[in-house]
Structure 1
Amino acid sequence: MSRLLQALFGRLPIGWLQLTHSRTRFAAALAGVAFANVLVFVQLGIMQSMATATLTPYGFFRADVMISAPDANAMAEGGNVARQWMLQAMAHPEVTSGMGLFLANVNWQRAGEGLSLTTFGIDPAQPEFLAPELAAKTAPLQMRMAGLLDRLARGLPRDEAAGIRPQAPLSFETSGQTLTLYDSFAGGGGFGGDGYMLVSDQTFLSLFPGRSSAAPDHILLRLRPGADPERVAAELRGLVSDKTLRIRSYAAAAQEDLSYQQTQRPTGVIFGFGVLIGVLVGIVIVYQVLSTDVADHMREYATFKAMGYGHRFFLGIVFEEALILGLLGFVPGALVGGGLLTLMGRITTLPLAVTPGMVLSVLAGTLVFSILSGAIATRRLAGADPADLF
C-alpha cells in the first residue's frame, strides 16, 4: 500500500504512515467511518423504498390527466370527486375518455393475522386505463365480487399467491361478504398497506356500501395521441366549474405525491434527518481522528514548517489521511449497509436495495465530509509560529 500511495502522490505517503503507526486507532477510525456509512445507507435505502412504494400504484394505471379533491395530497388521501366534473372535462376536444377511480383498504383475516390490501375499484370495461399486465386480466372482474390480488403482498405465502388463476380461484371473507380472487399481479407491500387488490367499481361499492358511484376518489382522463397533458390540464382548470379541484397531469400528480411523502409526512422528514445525522457522525469521527493525529505530530509539523514547507503541504498530508479513511471506511460500510437493507427487505417485503446511484452518492458524500473534516483539522497549523509549536 505504501508503494502504491507513493506512486500516486509522487512523494512519501506520510499520511498513510501516520495512520497505520497505531493500528488500533486506525481500525477504530475505520469502524467509525463505516458506522456512519451504514447509517446513511440504511436511511437512504428506506427513503428510496418510500419513493418506490409511493410510485408503484401509479404504475398500475395509464392516464394523462388526474382530477382529485383539493385535499388530495396523495393518491390514498383526500375527499371524493363528483363524477359530474368528469363529464365536464370530457367536453374538452383533446379528452377521449374518463374513468372514476375508487380507493380504500380491505382487511383480510388470515389465521389470526390480518392483511390490509389497498383496493382499487375500476371500470373493467375500460382496460385502456390499466397497465398491460392488468388490462389482460380484467375479464373475471366483470363478475360480481371478483378481484385480482397482489402476489407480492406482505404476509401472503408466495406459493399460495402463485397458485391463484382463473381455473383455481381463492376466496376469503371480508365485511361479511365472500370475495373471490381469480388472478394476480405484481405490486408489493408499501407503507400504507400490505399489498394491493383490484376489483370492479360495482364490487367496490358492494364492499363499501357507504360510498356512492357518483363520487369516486379520483378521475382519470385519457387524451388524444400527441396532446400535451400539462396544457390540457391547465385548460381544464378553466373549463371545470369547481375551481378548487386539483387538476394535474398524471405524471405531475405522481411527483407531487412523492414530494409530499418525502418532505411533509413525518416518516419522510425523519428519514431525511437520519441521513443528515449519519453525515454529521462521519464528519465528527473523521475530524476527531485527524485533529488528534495533528496534535500528536505537532513537533514534526513544526519542523517541516521551520524548513519552509507551506500550508498546502500540511493540507496535502491531512487530506491524504482523510481520503484514506473515507475510502477504506466506505467499503465495509457499503457491505454492511447493503446486507442490512437486503435483510430488512426480506422481512418487510419493502423494496429495499442498494442502487448504483446510492453507492455513488454515498461515496461522494463520504469523500466530501472527509476532506471537510481534514480542512477543519488543519486550522491550528495555518497561522501558527514554528517556534510556538515546540
Structure 2
Amino acid sequence: MNFDKIIDRRNTDSLKYDFAVKRGKPEGILPLWVADMDFRAPDCVLEALTEKSRHGIFGYSESGEEYFDALKGWFQESHGWEVRPEWLVKTPGVVFAISTAVRALTREGDGVIIQQPVYYPFTESVVKNDRKLVVSELVYSEGRYAIDFEDFERKIKENNVKLFILCSPHNPVGRVWTAEELTRLGDICLRHGVLVVSDEIHADFVYPGHRHIVFSSLKPEFEKLSIICTAPTKTFNLAGLQVSNIFIPDERLRLQFRREIGKTGYSQLGIMGIVACKAAYTCGRNWLEALKSYLNENLGYVHGFLKERLPQVRLIEPEGTYLVWLDFKDLGLDDDALERLIVHKAGLWLDGGLMFGPAGTGFQRINIACPRSVLEKALTQLEKAVNS
C-alpha cells in the first residue's frame, strides 16, 4: 500500500500516458486527465489474476454464486443496500450500459435529461443514439453546486423527457447528493413517468462527513424506475478489465435492457474481469480504506497549495470522487487561452471544462489519484505558468 511509489506507465499501451501526441498534445506532457489511478491494484486482486493466468486456459466463462455473494456483501457493508441475484446484468462498462439503456428504454426523438456540467459520455450517449438532449444545468454559487429542481421539472414537461441520467456522486463537480435531494429528483421523475439511469461508479469515494445513498434504495417506488450502474473499476483501478454490474429491480425494464444487449452480440464478461471483481470485493477493503486516506491527504495538499500559492484558482471542495474541479475564471481567459496556458505553459494534460458542457467554461478537471510527488510537480508547474 505504498501510494507514494511512482510506477512508470509509459510504453504499456496506457491511454493516459502513451497517446498524448496522437491526441494532439506535446510529447512529455504530465497527464492528470482520464479517470484511472497511478496506483497498483490490491495485491489480493493481482494474486487472483496471476493464479488464473498460471492455469493457462482463457475460454468462455460465466460468473457463479461466489461472484454474486461478493457483490452482495460489498454493497450491504458499504452502502446498506440489499441486492438480489435476479436484478444483476453484467456489462463491459458503465458507459456501455448507459447507451444500452438509452436505446432500450426510449425512442428516437425522445427527450433524455442530464445535469451539466457532467461526465461527457452522457451527452454522447444521448446524441449519438438520436435522442433529444435536454439539459438542466446545476447552479453554481459561492463555490458549490446545487440542483435547480424547478428548472429540472419544467424541462421534463416541456421536452417529452422519458429518461434521466443521474450522476451520483457527481463527476466532475464532486457533489454527493443528500437523501433529500435524491428523493426530490425521484419524486419529480415519478410524477412524470421518467425512468432513471443512475451512474454510481464513484460511490466508494466519499469524503468524511458525507454518505453515498443508492438512488433506488430510498423508496420502493424508485426501484420500479431505476437502472443502477456500478463497477469495481474506479474503486480498484481495474478499468482495462472491462467489468461492470448493473442492477435493475423491475423485471420489465430488465428484460428490455437485456434484449438491447442481445442486439449488440455481446454475451459474457471476460474471465479476468470476473476474477478481478470477485477478488476486489472479497478482500480489497483494507486497501481501499488506505487509499481513501491517501486521497484525502492529496486533497488537503491541493487545498493548501491553492490557498497559499495560487489563490487565482479556486478549488470546488469535493464531497466525493478523486476528480477535482478547479475554477480558473478569475484569470480572465477564454477557454482556448486557458487550454494553451494549461497545456503549453504548464505542461499539463487536464480535462477542459467545456467537454462537460457549456456550464463548464472556465473550469478544468484534475485527477488527484497519483503519488503526492506527481501532484506537487503538477501544481508547481501550474503556479509557474499562471505567474508568468
Of Structure 1 and Structure 2, which has the larger fraction of its residues in helix?
1
Under TM normalisation by the shorter chain, which class is it?
under 0.3
TM-score (normalizing by structure 1): 0.23
The structure having more radius of gyration, on CA atoms, is 1
TM-score (normalizing by structure 2): 0.23
